[in-house]
Amino acid sequence: MNRHYLMEHISRRLHTLVRFYTAAWEPVETFCARADLQDDHLGTVIANWFCSREASYNIPKNIPVFLSLNQQAVYTRIPAGSGLFLLGPVSFSIPVEIRRQDTVPAFSSAFRALIPICDFHEFMADVLLIANLFRSKCIDEEAILLENCINPQVRQDLEIRYMEHTFENQEIGKLHNPYDQEIREFSSIAKGDLEGLRNSLSEDYPGEVGTLARTPLRQMKNRGIVVVALASRAAMKGGILPEVAYSLSDSYIQKIEDCDDIPTILHLFHSAEYRYAQMVFDHNERKSSQKVTGPNGYAEKCKTYIFSRLHEKIHVREIAKELNINANYLSEIFHKHEGMTVTDYIHTQKIKLAQNLLVYSRYTYSEIASYLGYSSQSHLGRRFKQHTGVTMYQYRNKYGTGSF
């Protein structure tokens, strides 16, 4: 194990100090890629803290442990075979509860300004990297979070709340909405059954939606988020490309979060359900008319590749190379399972995006052509008219919102 290279790699990623000690906390090596960050006195303070508390405070020796100083700087002790790594100082870009805290003389404003701000998930990835390089059995992120960030009281509070909530509902005879109604609702989306969805949403039943928040507005937002998430999964089950379903889900949920009007939120998540159901319906119609044989792993991966690169020029050989298969074989199985060539599918998806841009954006025709990877506006214009029967001007003039 090239320990020095590992220390340099982590220091450059986190922009902080990386120290290595013996198991008895005797200093061996320190590395920091930054010339401006020095905190030798704190290294001694932290070593003394661990030496004096590991036994009496029941601090595990085989799991990385976080220590927050003055709630401003986090240091992490990581066991590494016969030695120990110490990372820090760092702070995080999101609020993170650190269970172990200590107070030292106040940091100077100059030192506080030098403490790097890390993405917490990237920081965890580096902690896991170091820890697992020196272990025979890997430790996961959940174990580290439970030891360092999750207050045990949280689980106890949850159990108390569950017991109280159940008791209250039993006392007043309150029931949740029936599960079989939810099955009918989301099965309708998965089947593309618009009439079935309408019927399921209009059902009358004695139960109620669960309590998801403390205020009516937050309750409706949370309900909308749950419904959109479930609807997107039902649509995927019905054959909609996951990236398409996820992207639409993200858009609806962000709009719900921005909305402060309860009737509008209700309209948004119900319209999401109908939109997903319509997408599945259209998907089934296309399969039926084109005699598509059904899903195929390579075809699905090909569609995902295309969806993520609609703004580029896409070639079949590049997709085949990405999937590590022969281009002719990919073309053959795609046509068999999708009822069209890969090239036709690419243009179909680009035209769909062009339609959205014409309706909902102010981009010029040449800007849309450039964004979608076409060589010119006229090239896109020819393709667009082939697919829609109208010109881009006619389409925007008929369907464009006119407001942005």
Residue 259: count other Cβ atoms within 10 Å of its Cβ. 18
For the domain bounded by 297-399, which CATH number is listed?
1.10.10.60
- Give burial (CB, 10 Å; 0-12/13-18/19+) of 16: buried
What pLDDT sits at residue 193?
94
**Which of 192-196, 336-340, 363-367, 373-377 is least confident?**
336-340
The Cα 306–Cα 314 span in angstroms is 7
Q: How confident is the model at residue 20 (pLDDT cuts 50, 70, 90)?
A: very high
Q: Give the pTM.
A: 0.64
The Cα 239–Cα 381 span in angstroms is 30
Cα dihedral 60, 61, 63, 66, rounded to 10, equals 80
Q: How confident is the model at residue 80 (pLDDT cuts 50, 70, 90)?
A: very high
What pLDDT sits at residue 204?
78
- The mean of the pLDDT values for the chain is 88
**Which of 41-55, 233-247, 339-353, 371-385 is least confident?**
41-55
Q: Is the pLDDT of residue 198 over 50?
A: yes
Instruction: Give kind and range of the element (H or E) at residue 29.
Output: strand 27-31
What pLDDT sits at residue 113?
92
The Cα 47–Cα 67 span in angstroms is 11
How would CATH label the architecture of 3-150? 2-Layer Sandwich (3.30)
pLDDT per residue as tens digits for the range 213-244: 889 999 999 999 999 999 999 999 998 888 88
What pLDDT sits at residue 404?
45
Q: What is the percent of the chain where pLDDT is above 90?
A: 56
pLDDT per residue as tens digits for the range 89-106: 999 999 999 989 889 889
Domain segments of the chain as ranges: 3-150, 179-290, 297-399
